[in-house]
A and B are shown apart, each in its own frame.
Chain A
Amino acid sequence: MQSNKLYSAIFAAGITLILACLMIGVKLDTEGTQLAVRGATAEQWTWIGLGVGLVFLSQLFSAQIDAFFGKLPKPQLGKLLPEERKRATLKPWLIAALIVGMIIWPFMVSRGSVDLATLTLIYIMLGLGLNIVVGLAGLLDLGFVAFYAVGAYTYALLSMYFGLSFWVCLPISAGLAALFGFILGFPVLRLRGDYLAIVTLGFGEIIRILLNNWTAVTNGPSGISGIAKPTLFGLEFTRRAKGEDAQTFHDFMGISYSSSYKVIFLYLIAVLLVCVVVYVINRLMRMPIGRAWEALREDEIACRSLGLNRTAIKLSAFTIGASTAGFAGAFFSARQGFISPESFIFIESAIILAIVVLGGMGSQVGVILAAIVMTILPELAREFAEYRMLMFGLLMVIMMRWRPEGLVPMKRPHLELKQ
């Protein structure tokens, strides 16, 4: 046993050494027109040595380390919460307080934080959408970003060609994304697991490549710029009104112009959209269809024996998930003002999926928390931008080791049976 440990510790240390040498130890530099390979500085070598030593020791004493962490008292989150009955009465107040807080908050912080919060809200919407497909219905979708792209381009194109406003396009975007979800859903209904993942992955790429190459309509890789911002009942948030009879917000209110009004307004729209999405999905989860999604994930044959229509249930999950992404997409293009196929690459799908998995499959609160973590953490760790992916991986490993069921594991809503 002990020699086995020693062997694995040496092995792990060796791997670390090789990887570290390749990634940190060797540097490519240009020397005039030539490419030169340079070794690392002495300081870097010390760090590599320390790292290898650390890996060696942690592997050697892994049992002791695990025992130590096992002994640490786990935070009793359950005890912090009040009793079930109390919680039920407190809940509406808490939600109201949260919403009020979210509305007041942007007026007190910097523009950058509000902007970041808006981005987070977009990811929350995407996470909630994918949560239906992956978390509840158990259909692994690796091309979710396709629906996001459909929503974004729907608004961008309709606004560019027909001058339709954001509020008109919002439902259209969601509808069109839902239609794409429906179209994708049909052929893949028979697939599950890995096969489904591959097909959806391909679908995501198809949409992106289509947007890239259909230059005549989508402007190809150069993207669409100058997408109109949302208005508040026709009031614009620009310095000067664009249209003939258009009016700007600051003129109407009789205040001086500030660019942060626009940022805050966008943030408030995002809050509104997220509230709508959370509410609708929450209702759906409590409805029979929500249970049917879960039942289908657990046992397809049992579902069919109960007369559930597998096709309809899977399609509904796909469609509703996709329409949420379309919603988020339309808002995204309105916020950015510029979109290109570059915004909808595979890594986006991966991030959204990571949000769902980190949050705890099927859990709404978990997904929201994970979306916050996943968007704010990279911002906080700006200095380590080079190592972002490394941190990402580390986070995943830590999660899988200590909280494999996600940040906030799903707890299904309960019906009380009246006696």
Chain B
Amino acid sequence: MLRIENVNTHYGPIQALHDVSVEVKQGEIVTLIGANGAGKTTLMMTICGDPQATSGKVVFDGEEITGQRTSDIMQKGLAIVPEGRRVFSGMTVEENLYMGSYHRSKAEAEKTAKHVLELFPRLEERYDQRAGTMSGGEQQMLAIGRAMMAKPRMILLDEPSLGLAPIIIQQIFDIIQKLRDEGVTIFLVEQNANQALRIADRGYVLENGRVVLEDSGDALLTNEAVRQAYLGG
């Protein structure tokens, strides 16, 4: 579904990604783990076209999207939940959700909204509340819900567990699995490697802008090097 081929990305003179190749197949949960500054978020952003890859190819659903504008890429059935949630804090939950369906008709959006609210009953309780007044977990749910409003076939999640309590993290990961069961392909970037690998079909390990390891989720969980580096021994 998403194929990243030998992508190199630069920030000015600094190269952030070196020949990165990643593939995510339809219906999979694929996770990308790595330390701070390994280039995880950069890879996410490169998929979205900001920054553009200096070389290599990003193919989504058989169509090459490298070099396309971010706003165009995001309308092809791909959605991203950006790092740090980034909900519109002055807007209500409802308004936040409907920003996610900006390019869709109102009738379609209302249908999706109903579904999203079923998925996140919490958001229904807070429907008229300003997003900025909600807890971190609720905001993360809103961010995921907002991305869902575009009815994407694939969602990129950038650090959904960032700054959340363990019990909330568990809820978020349950939801991610639920989304997959509904047929949405998931590409998950996480620092919380333990949790991410447990729900992932496959995983990639990124180190200094290079993919150093690629295996099934279970295999990576038991891999000695990964345990040492990311799972705390």
Contacts and interface: CB of A to CB of B under 8 A. Distances in A.
B86 A310 contact: no
A301 B88 CA distance: 11
Contact of B88 (A288, A302, A312): A302
A307 B74 contact: yes
Contacts of A288: 98, 102
Interface in B127-154: 127-128, 146-147, 150
Given A302-B82, A304-B50, A305-B82, A295 B71 contact: no
Contacts of B86: 299, 301-302, 305
B98 A291 contact: yes
A414 B87 CA distance: 18
Interface size range on A against B: 20 to 34
A304 B70 contact: yes
Contacts of B71: 304, 307-310, 312
B48 interface: yes
B102 A307 contact: yes
Interface in A297-341: 298-299, 301-310, 312
Question: Would you call the interface of chain A mostly helix, strand, loop, or mixed?
Answer: helix
A298 B95 CA distance: 13
B183 interface: no
Contacts of B119: none
Contacts of B82: 301-302, 305
B223 interface: no
Nearest to A303: B99
A307 B101 CA distance: 9
B74 A291 contact: no
A413 to B, nearest CB: 10
B150 A306 contact: yes
Contacts of B122: none
Contacts of A417: 94, 110, 113, 127
A317 to B, nearest CB: 15
B89 interface: yes
B37 interface: no
Contacts of B90: 294, 298
A305 B147 CA distance: 9
Contacts of A310: 71
A415 interface: yes
A412 interface: yes
A291 B99 contact: yes
B95 A291 contact: yes
Contact of B48 (A303, A305, A415): A305
Interface residues of B, number: 34
B80 A294 contact: no
A227 interface: no
B217 interface: no
Interface string B82-111: 100011111110110011101100000010
A254 to B, nearest CB: 53
A318 B98 CA distance: 23
Given A305-B82, A306-B146, A292 B99 contact: yes
Interface in B51-99: 69-75, 79-82, 86-92, 94-95, 98-99
A301 B82 CA distance: 8
Interface in A271-304: 288, 291-292, 294-295, 298-299, 301-304
A16 B95 CA distance: 49
Contacts of B70: 304, 307
A271 B86 CA distance: 42
A306 B99 CA distance: 8
Contacts of B48: 304-305
A304 B94 contact: no
Contacts of B146: 306
B63 to A, nearest CB: 15
Contacts of A312: 71
B156 to A, nearest CB: 9
A295 B99 CA distance: 8
A310 B110 CA distance: 24
A302 B127 CA distance: 20
Interface in B16-72: 48, 50, 69-72
B95 to A, nearest CB: 6
A415 B94 contact: yes
A292 B75 CA distance: 16
Contact of A307 (B87, B103, B110): B103
Given A305-B80, A309-B71, A292 B95 contact: no
A361 to B, nearest CB: 11
Contacts of B99: 291-292, 295, 303, 306, 308
A56 B190 CA distance: 59
Contacts of A305: 48, 74, 79-82, 86, 147
A412 B88 CA distance: 14
Nearest to B73: A307
A294 B48 CA distance: 23
B127 A306 contact: no
Interface of B: 48, 50, 69-75, 79-82, 86-92, 94-95, 98-100, 102-103, 110, 113, 127-128, 146-147, 150
22 contacts: A291-B91, A291-B95, A291-B98, A291-B102, A294-B90, A295-B91, A298-B91, A299-B88, A301-B86, A302-B87, A305-B74, A305-B79, A305-B80, A305-B82, A305-B147, A306-B74, A308-B99, A308-B102, A312-B71, A412-B95, A415-B94, A417-B94
Given A303-B99, A305-B79, 12 more contacts: A291-B95, A291-B98, A295-B91, A298-B89, A301-B82, A305-B80, A305-B81, A305-B86, A306-B146, A312-B71, A412-B95, A417-B94
> 3 closest pairs, A vs B, by CB?
A307-B74, A302-B86, A309-B71
